[in-house]
Amino acid sequence: MLTLATTSPGEPEIFASLQGEGPSMGRPSTFVRLSRCNLACEWCDTAYTWRFEGDNRVHRDDLAFDRQANQISLDEADVAQRIAALPTTRLVVTGGEPLLQGAALARLLALLPYMHVEVETNGTVPVHPALDPLIHQFNVSPKLAHSGNPANLALIPDRLTAWAAEPRAAFKFVVADDADVAEVLALQARYAIAGERIFLMPEGRESAVIRRRSEWLAEVCLHNGLRFSDRLHIHLWGDTRGT
């Protein structure tokens, strides 16, 4: 069984859209959003995947979500059937933290051998051995200090070393100010990550905020040999589920 987020009570968050971020931005894709996360980012735009009632981890909105309304468990064959009914052959598995469900995810992908599969991960969880050969691309988004997560939980040296050595991995950092950029550059130097593998993306859930931060962040990328990622889906559809 897979545990998924919902777009509305009882409806799993499985949908076709354009990839809004990272190296595949703009590509038509099918998205599957899994529930549960081992981290708690203060600015997380999918807190409904982890901040359920009774969870006291910090989030700037201070909202708690009803687990029954925002989480659903489905058999892998059911999920595969829903994916197959959508028009694209690029699958983006997101969350939450998808690698927490590695074994079930491997069973799902075995049913979809024709899909090109991306997994979006915070970089703290190792890849299940059965899942690893089924993934074409890892979008690794390590969480910086401004996320509110302790570094010993969010920036695990052994895991970052492994991701830096993984040719299928691109790194996407959420950035709000100059201190975040300095932290990214320190991580780049420590783990010897080529600039062409690093995407800086402005933090924000509103188009105006993203555009304002993009102006200076684009210059940062230009001067440091890094890549820039917009948040295309926010500009097109706003901060909404199923987009």
Question: CA dist 156 to 53, 120, 131, 162, 185, Å?
Answer: 28, 17, 21, 10, 17
Q: On the CB side of 184, how many CA atoms lie within 13 Å of its CA?
A: 29
- pLDDT tens track for 88-119: 999 999 999 999 999 999 999 999 999 999 99
pLDDT of residue 180: 98
3-state secondary structure of 103: helix
- What pLDDT is attached to residue 243? 94
- Please state the domain extents for the chain: 2-172
Longest Cα–Cα distance of the chain, Å, equals 48
Cis peptide before 148 (omega within 30 of 0): no
What's residue 144's pLDDT?
A: 98
Q: What is the pLDDT of residue 158?
A: 98
- The percent of residues in the chain predicted with pLDDT above 70, rounded, is 100
User: What mean pLDDT comes out for the span 115-125?
Assistant: 98
Q: What is the pLDDT of residues 142-178, one digit of tens each?
A: 999 999 999 999 999 999 999 999 999 999 999 999 9
**Residue tagged 């970089």 (tokens):** 123
What pLDDT is recorded for position 22?
97
Q: Does domain 2-172 have CATH number 3.20.20?
A: yes
Q: How many CB atoms lie within 10 A of CB 37?
A: 22
Q: What is the pLDDT of residue 43?
A: 97
Contact assessment for residue 54 and residue 72, using Cβ atoms and an 8 Å cutoff: no
Give mean pLDDT, residues 2-22: 98
